[in-house]
Amino acid sequence: MTVYGWENVKSDVEMEADVVIVGTGPGGAGAARALAEAGRRVVMLEEGPAHSNFRPNHAHTMRYHMQENGSMVALGSAAVSVAAGRGVGGGSLINSAIIWRTPDHVLSSWTDVLGGDDRFSPANMAPVYDEIGDIIEVVKTSESIAGENNKLIVRGARKLGLKADLLHRNAPRCVGCGICNFGCPSGGKASVDKNLIALARAQGTVVQADTKVSRILVENGRAVGVVGPTRHPDNGRLVGTVTVRAKAVMLCAGAVGTPRLILQSGLGTTLGPRVGKGLHLHPGNAVLGLCDFPVKMWSGATQGAYFEDPELPGVLPHTLSLPPGALLLAMGSVGAQVKKDMEMAPYMAGCLVMVSDKGEGTVGIKSNGSADLTYWFADEDVDKMRKGLKRTCEVLAAGGAQRLLVPVVGAGWCDTMDEAFAALDAAQLTDYQAMYAAHPMATCRMGTDLMNSVIGPDGQAHGLPGLYIADSSIFPTSLGVNPQYTTMVMGTILGRDLAKTL
């Protein structure tokens, strides 16, 4: 069945459905497949393009496959660039394909937050993880396509007696070209457009892309549909307006897009004080290492390895994979230094340190409709990041790095471990030359009432019957691991629960 784009909208279009889903990323895909297989009529609306036209080019990716053209920045303790995907498949199109199950202790804590509702307990989530894992073809990264950067991290960590391994990814046919973040050119990544959405479409689900929903329709105190313009993806020309009326509206536009749409619709008061509050990002920092052998961190499976330190709970170091241009940015290369750094680039290894954050931010809306983001680091997160970076310095050195580069203000190149530790102790870690986060979450949290959350355990908004949410914005806490897998599973559970009520 066809995924419709702007060409399908010759003028204004009206549709009806049992459920209209806004967004086609991991949450929307999981929910759509569950609803469609239960026999419900589903329409999915997507602001990004109907068909992916991937190129290994940052500008192209930001224009077509990143929300707000990759320009979102959270201001507060530091300026943090926030990435969120768009297009049929959402963030799964341009992420690193990393698959993690949320730790049991995190899921168990959610049962308490939800007043004893255990639908997201480890026992109830496990079989759905298994089910979705089979559909999206989760496999462990193969040594044959891992690349030296990933192998170095595993080698170094194991020398130090730490748990380390190649990661599981939904990339069963990966060829190791290392450009997942531009979109998979080989078809090796099993992004959700190829499986969960395809299964939903086989059951009659309609997917309309190039359509950015601008308003949630409310009648008699109930959400009854959505409306938004359809535009040409290249020139932005308005070609018509799509209106979908439905028994239920499910928002799956992500932790930035979902609260932004709620606020744009004038429903911030209706849905309570927690809309857009509690933003978590999994903030990260990195260490780079210069080796005396070729590494080419852009070659091999993107972010294909990790290690764990039992003394650092909530800290997840995993491979940093950057193309040459982004690597130069992380190195702070300017002027005449660029040529020298280009010569070093093939010999650079990297590892990212990601923290399960206690710090929080907000998602608001600017007068032009774009997202207004803030984020404030918690002191304990900065402390964890500092300790994680020190451990990562040791891992890189054990793996073969001769010199270390900590790209934060006040640190820089270090020739010894003592020098690196001293630099990290003195550095202001939030002053990072390329601070970046790709896991926005928890901005429309699930909970028990309107004052501490936006939706209940069934996904329905406390303040507006008929409105449901099933994306990363609903997490009650920070996950501590990459969120796409859990988002798919929760979307599946909430879709099945909703299907029973329609």
Domain spanning 141-169+284-356+378-429: CATH 3.40.1350: no
What is the architecture of the domain spanning 3-62+85-135+184-278+441-501?
3-Layer(bba) Sandwich (3.50)
The residues facing 68 across adjacent strands are none
CA distance 26 to 38: 19
CA distance 28 to 491: 6
Domain boundaries, the chain: 3-62+85-135+184-278+441-501, 141-169+284-356+378-429
Structural tokens at position 327? 């690597």
DSSP code for 39: T
Question: What is the DSSP track for 151-170?
Answer: HHHHHHHHHTT-EEEEPEES
What confidence score (pLDDT) does residue 19 get?
98
Q: What is the pLDDT of residues 70-95, one digit of tens each?
A: 999 999 988 888 999 999 999 999 99
User: Which residues in 222-274 belong to E strands, given as ranges?
Assistant: 222-231, 238-251
Torsion angles phi and psi, residue 95, rounded to 5: -90, 180
Q: What is the pLDDT of residues 389-432, one digit of tens each?
A: 999 999 999 999 999 998 777 778 999 999 999 999 988 877 66
The residues, ordered by sequence, that sit 6+ positions from 193 with a Cβ below 8 Å of its Cβ are 3, 24, 29, 52, 88, 89, 92, 93
pLDDT < 50 regions, the chain:
none
CA distance 166 to 402: 23
What confidence score (pLDDT) does residue 141 get?
97
DSSP code for 333: -
What confidence score (pLDDT) does residue 412 get?
83
Spell out the SS3 assignment of 461-481. Answer: ECCCCCEEECCHHHCCCCCCC
The pTM of this model reads 0.96
DSSP code for 56: S
What confidence score (pLDDT) does residue 433 get?
54
Does residue 439 carry a catalytic annotation? yes
Per the residue annotation, which of 65, 280, 282, 439 is the catalytic one? 439
Torsion angles phi and psi, residue 493, rounded to 5: -65, -45
Q: Which helix (H) or strand (E) holds 365?
A: strand 360-365
CA distance 18 to 1: 19
What confidence score (pLDDT) does residue 435 get?
67
Q: Are 21 and 40 in contact (CB under 8 A)?
A: no
β-pair type (73-76, 238-251): unpaired
Alpha-helix residue ranges (DSSP H) falling in 160-226: 196-202
What confidence score (pLDDT) does residue 434 get?
54
What confidence score (pLDDT) does residue 207 get?
98
Closest CA to 102 of 287, 282, 305, 302: 282
CA distance 84 to 72: 9
